[in-house]
Amino acid sequence: MAFGWIDEQARARREAGLVRVLRPRPADSAPLDLASNDYLGLARHPEVTEGAARAARKWGAGATGSRLVTGTTELHAELERELAAFCGFEAALVFSSGYAANLAAVTALAPHGSLVVSDAGNHASLIDGCRLARGATQVVTHADPDAVRKALATHEGPAIAVSDTVFSVDGDAAPLAGLAQACREHGAGLVVDDAHGLGVLGAGGRGAAYEAGLAGADDVVVTVTLSKSLGSQGGAVLGPAPVIEHLVNAARTFIFDTGLAPAAAGGALAALTLLRREPERAARARAVAGELHARLTAMGLSAVRPDAAVVSVRAPSPEGAVQWAADCRSAGLSVGCFRPPSVPDGISRLRLTARADLSAEQVGRAVRVIGETRP
C-alpha cells in the first residue's frame, strides 16, 4: 500500500504521546487566551481589522500575482517604508509569511562556498533556511557568541550567523551584542529573527536589534513576522538597501510566491500606526510576562525568566503537558503546549503568552488555573 508506512509513524506517535489534533475555535471563543501570539492584543483591535477591511475593499482579497509581476501594490511599498522606518533600518521587503522571510534571508545570503553558523535553539524556519541554503551549516551551542566566533574562525569566504532574538520555546533572549561582535571580528553578517521581539522589545516595541543598538548597521539583517505583535499575517526582512535589492533578485520565496494579501498589509500598517501612538503596549506585555513568571515560580513551578513576552513552564512529560493544557482549557484558560519535536531538548512545556491587554484579574485567574490543574 502506497501510504502504509504512515500507519507505522502514527502508531509510534500515539505511543509517545505526540499526536497533534486541530481544534477549530469559534469566532466568539470565550476562554482566556494565553496561547496565541497576539502579544499586544491587536488582532481584533477595531483600527487593525478596519485597516485590513479597507485594504481588501480597495485592493482586492488577494495580491493577484507574485511581487515582481502584479503582486506589489502601493500599499506593500508603504508598509515596507513604515516597517523600515519604525525599526530603524534602511529598507524592508515584505513576504507572505515570517517563515518565507526566514527562508529568503538565509538562502539568499548563504551562497555556494559560504558558511551559516546557526544557534541550536533556532526556530524551524531558520533551520529550514539552513537546509535549503547552498552554503554549509554549522550548528553551535545555544546563545554562545564564543561558539559562533570559533565556527567563523574555521572558514574563509562569505559567512553569516543566524539566531532568533527571543527563542520561541523558553522565551530567553539571544546575546545580540556578543553575536554582532563575534561576526564583526570575522567580517561575517548577522541575521536575526525578531518574530518575538518586534512590538515587545526596544523603545515602543521597535525590536531587539533596535534595543541592542544594531538597527541600521550595514552588517545586520533582521527578519520579522507581521502575525504576532502586529496582529496580522505576513513577514518581512529589514536591512541595508543593497541586501534588500539582492533579495528582490535572488530570494526564491519572494520571487515565486504570491504577494502578501492586501488585507494583511493593511492590518499590519494600522497596527504600526497604533503602536507609534501607544508605545506603552510593549512595556505592558513585558510587565505581564514578569508578573506571570514571578507568581508561577512562587508556586514552585519551573519557568524560565522571560526576556520578552513568552513564558515557558516545564511539564513532567508530553502526556502530562497535553493533560495539563486540556485541564486548563476545561477551566476556561487557553495555553500553548510544546512537545517534541518542537522542543530541541525534548522537555515538554506549557507556553504562555503575556498579552499587553490582560487585566490584573485575568493574570490572577490564569495563574490560579495553572496552579490548580498542575499535574
Ligand X SMILES: Cc1ncc(COP(=O)(O)O)c(C=O)c1O
Residue from 114, 118, 138, 227 touching ligand X (CB under 6 A): that is 227
> Between β-strands 159-164 and 189-193, what pairing exists: parallel, antiparallel or unpaired?
parallel
Specify the residue, 222 or 274, whose C-beta has the smaller distance to ligand X.
Answer: 222
Q: What is the dihedral of CA 359, 362, 368, 369, to 10 degrees?
A: -150
Going residue by residue from 105 to 144, which x/- string records binding to ligand X, judged by CB under 6 A?
A: ------------------x-x-------------------
Going residue by residue from 274 to 293, which x/- string records binding to ligand X, judged by CB under 6 A?
A: --------------------
Specify the residue, 160 or 367, whose C-beta has the smaller distance to ligand X.
Answer: 160
Specify the residue, 274 or 309, whose C-beta has the smaller distance to ligand X.
Answer: 309
Is residue 351 involved in binding ligand X (CB under 6 A)? Answer: no
Of residues 186 through 205, those in contact with ligand X by CB under 6 A are: 193, 195-196
136-161 burial by CB neighbour count: b if 16+ within 10 A, else e?
ebbbbebbbbebbbebbeebeebbbb
Rounded to whole angstroms, the Cα distance separating 152 from 116 reads 9
The 3-class secondary structure across 23-81, one letter per residue, is: CCCCCCCCCEEECCCCCCCCCCCHHHHHHHHHHHHHHCCCCCCECCCCCCCHHHHHHHH
Is residue 229 involved in binding ligand X (CB under 6 A)? Answer: no
Specify the residue, 286 or 351, whose C-beta has the smaller distance to ligand X.
Answer: 351
- Binding range to ligand X, per CB under 6 A, among 97-105, 210-218, 239-247, 365-373: 97-105
Is residue 145 involved in binding ligand X (CB under 6 A)? Answer: no
* 373 three-state secondary structure: coil
Specify the residue, 72 or 227, whose C-beta has the smaller distance to ligand X.
Answer: 227
Specify the residue, 115 or 308, whose C-beta has the smaller distance to ligand X.
Answer: 308
- Binding range to ligand X, per CB under 6 A, among 2-10, 41-49, 96-104, 324-332: 96-104
Is residue 99 involved in binding ligand X (CB under 6 A)? Answer: yes
- Kindly report the backbone phi and psi dihedral angles of residue 39, in degrees, each rounded to the nearest multiple of 5, phi listed first: -55, -35
Residue from 41, 88, 98, 259 touching ligand X (CB under 6 A): that is 98
Is residue 207 involved in binding ligand X (CB under 6 A)? Answer: no
Rounded to whole angstroms, the Cα distance separating 7 from 5 reads 5
Spatial strand order in the sheet of 91-95: 91-95, 235-239, 220-225, 189-193, 159-164, 115-119, 136-140
Cβ at position 7, least distance to ligand X in Å: 29
Looking up cell 541554503, which residue turns up?
A: 133
The site for ligand X, by CB under 6 A, has a size of: 14
Rounded to whole angstroms, the Cα distance separating 98 from 106 reads 12
Specify the residue, 138 or 227, whose C-beta has the smaller distance to ligand X.
Answer: 227
Closest by alpha carbon to 115, among 167, 17, 229, 191?
Answer: 191
Is residue 88 involved in binding ligand X (CB under 6 A)? Answer: no
3-state helix, strand, coil in the chain (%, to 5): 45, 15, 40
Is residue 225 involved in binding ligand X (CB under 6 A)? Answer: yes
- Judged by the rule CB under 6 A, the positions of this chain that interact with ligand X are 97-99, 102, 123, 125, 164, 168, 193, 195-196, 225, 227, 235
